[in-house]
Amino acid sequence: MSKVKTEIATDELVPLFKSIGLSQAKAQEAAKSPKNATALKNIIENHPVVSNNGLDEKQASLIVTLAGTLVKSSGVGHGETDITITKILDGKLKTADQVAGDFVQSNNVPIRSPLCFDSRCQIHGNSSGAD
Protein backbone atom coordinates (compact mmCIF):
# COMPACT_ATOMS: atom_id res chain seq x y z
CA MET A 1 0.00 0.00 0.00
CA SER A 2 2.82 2.43 0.73
CA LYS A 3 4.16 1.76 -2.75
CA VAL A 4 0.91 3.11 -4.20
CA LYS A 5 1.19 6.25 -2.06
CA THR A 6 4.80 6.73 -3.19
CA GLU A 7 3.82 6.37 -6.83
CA ILE A 8 0.99 8.87 -6.42
CA ALA A 9 3.30 11.35 -4.72
CA THR A 10 5.90 10.87 -7.47
CA ASP A 11 3.26 11.35 -10.16
CA GLU A 12 2.21 14.61 -8.50
CA LEU A 13 5.78 15.91 -8.22
CA VAL A 14 6.91 15.24 -11.78
CA PRO A 15 4.80 18.04 -13.35
CA LEU A 16 6.02 20.46 -10.66
CA PHE A 17 9.63 19.53 -11.36
CA LYS A 18 9.12 19.80 -15.11
CA SER A 19 7.67 23.29 -14.61
CA ILE A 20 11.12 24.61 -13.61
CA GLY A 21 12.78 23.31 -16.78
CA LEU A 22 13.64 19.66 -16.10
CA SER A 23 13.05 17.06 -18.80
CA GLN A 24 10.52 14.30 -18.10
CA ALA A 25 13.31 11.82 -17.32
CA LYS A 26 15.15 14.19 -14.97
CA ALA A 27 11.91 15.18 -13.24
CA GLN A 28 11.10 11.51 -12.67
CA GLU A 29 14.59 10.86 -11.34
CA ALA A 30 14.36 13.85 -8.99
CA ALA A 31 11.04 12.58 -7.65
CA LYS A 32 12.42 9.13 -6.77
CA SER A 33 14.23 10.11 -3.57
CA PRO A 34 11.67 11.25 -1.00
CA LYS A 35 14.09 13.52 0.90
CA ASN A 36 15.54 15.15 -2.20
CA ALA A 37 12.08 15.48 -3.76
CA THR A 38 10.78 17.20 -0.62
CA ALA A 39 13.76 19.59 -0.60
CA LEU A 40 13.27 20.40 -4.29
CA LYS A 41 9.54 20.92 -3.79
CA ASN A 42 10.30 23.29 -0.90
CA ILE A 43 12.77 25.26 -3.01
CA ILE A 44 10.22 25.62 -5.81
CA GLU A 45 7.42 26.62 -3.45
CA ASN A 46 9.46 28.94 -1.19
CA HIS A 47 11.64 30.66 -3.80
CA PRO A 48 9.33 32.06 -6.51
CA VAL A 49 12.27 33.13 -8.64
CA VAL A 50 12.81 29.43 -9.39
CA SER A 51 9.28 28.75 -10.59
CA ASN A 52 8.71 32.13 -12.27
CA ASN A 53 12.00 32.45 -14.12
CA GLY A 54 11.76 29.90 -16.94
CA LEU A 55 15.02 28.13 -16.12
CA ASP A 56 16.95 26.29 -18.77
CA GLU A 57 17.61 22.59 -18.15
CA LYS A 58 21.15 23.20 -16.87
CA GLN A 59 19.96 25.74 -14.29
CA ALA A 60 17.11 23.43 -13.27
CA SER A 61 19.60 20.58 -12.83
CA LEU A 62 21.73 22.81 -10.59
CA ILE A 63 18.65 23.57 -8.48
CA VAL A 64 18.20 19.78 -8.12
CA THR A 65 21.84 19.57 -7.01
CA LEU A 66 21.21 22.31 -4.47
CA ALA A 67 18.18 20.41 -3.11
CA GLY A 68 20.25 17.26 -2.70
CA THR A 69 23.03 19.20 -1.00
CA LEU A 70 20.62 20.84 1.42
CA VAL A 71 19.31 17.41 2.46
CA LYS A 72 22.86 16.45 3.48
CA SER A 73 23.51 19.68 5.35
CA SER A 74 22.26 21.31 8.51
CA GLY A 75 21.87 24.92 9.48
CA VAL A 76 21.31 26.29 5.99
CA GLY A 77 18.50 28.81 5.98
CA HIS A 78 16.31 30.56 3.47
CA GLY A 79 18.80 33.40 2.99
CA GLU A 80 21.72 31.11 2.20
CA THR A 81 19.57 29.16 -0.23
CA ASP A 82 18.51 32.43 -1.90
CA ILE A 83 22.14 33.43 -2.36
CA THR A 84 22.93 30.15 -4.10
CA ILE A 85 19.83 30.33 -6.29
CA THR A 86 20.78 33.86 -7.34
CA LYS A 87 24.29 32.72 -8.22
CA ILE A 88 22.85 29.88 -10.34
CA LEU A 89 20.45 32.20 -12.16
CA ASP A 90 23.18 34.81 -12.71
CA GLY A 91 25.44 32.16 -14.27
CA LYS A 92 28.08 32.45 -11.55
CA LEU A 93 27.60 28.82 -10.56
CA LYS A 94 27.80 26.59 -13.59
CA THR A 95 28.67 23.16 -12.23
CA ALA A 96 27.29 20.78 -9.65
CA ASP A 97 30.67 20.90 -7.90
CA GLN A 98 30.39 24.64 -7.41
CA VAL A 99 26.88 24.28 -6.00
CA ALA A 100 27.59 21.32 -3.74
CA GLY A 101 31.29 21.61 -2.98
CA ASP A 102 32.54 24.57 -1.04
CA PHE A 103 29.11 26.06 -0.30
CA VAL A 104 27.64 23.48 2.03
CA GLN A 105 28.94 19.97 1.73
CA SER A 106 32.63 20.58 2.43
CA ASN A 107 32.28 23.33 5.02
CA ASN A 108 28.83 22.52 6.41
CA VAL A 109 28.70 26.14 7.54
CA PRO A 110 25.88 28.50 6.60
CA ILE A 111 26.98 31.37 4.42
CA ARG A 112 25.90 34.73 5.85
CA SER A 113 26.53 37.11 2.97
CA PRO A 114 27.19 37.05 -0.77
CA LEU A 115 30.76 38.26 -0.15
CA CYS A 116 31.46 35.37 2.19
CA PHE A 117 29.89 32.99 -0.31
CA ASP A 118 31.97 34.38 -3.14
CA SER A 119 35.22 33.99 -1.21
CA ARG A 120 34.48 30.34 -0.35
CA CYS A 121 33.60 29.40 -3.90
CA GLN A 122 36.29 31.67 -5.33
CA ILE A 123 33.79 33.45 -7.53
CA HIS A 124 34.60 37.16 -7.60
CA GLY A 125 32.12 39.04 -9.72
CA ASN A 126 32.36 37.06 -12.91
CA SER A 127 31.50 33.58 -14.07
CA SER A 128 35.11 32.58 -14.75
CA GLY A 129 36.13 32.80 -11.10
CA ALA A 130 39.08 35.04 -11.93
CA ASP A 131 39.58 38.55 -10.61
CA nearest neighbour of 75 among 100, 43, 110, 35: 110
Q: What is the pLDDT of residue 111?
A: 45
Q: What is the pLDDT of residue 77?
A: 79
Mean pLDDT by runs of 10 across the 131 residues of the chain is: 51 92 95 93 93 89 93 79 89 89 50 49 45 38
C-alpha distances out from residue 124 to 63, 68, 82, 106, 119, Å:
21, 25, 18, 19, 7
List of domains in the chain: 2-121 (1.10.8.1290)
pLDDT digits (tens, 9 = 90+) for 65-98: 999 988 887 777 788 888 889 889 999 899 998 8
Q: How far apart are the first and last CA of the chain?
A: 56
- Rounded to two decimals, the pTM is 0.74
CA–CA dist 110, 53 (Å, integer): 25
Q: What is the pLDDT of residue 128?
A: 41
Q: What is the pLDDT of residue 130?
A: 41
Residue 129 backbone dihedrals phi, psi, to 5 degrees: 85, 0
Q: What is the pLDDT of residue 78?
A: 82
Q: What is the pLDDT of residue 6?
A: 47
Q: How far is CA 79 from the centre of its chain?
A: 13
Q: What is the pLDDT of residue 73?
A: 77
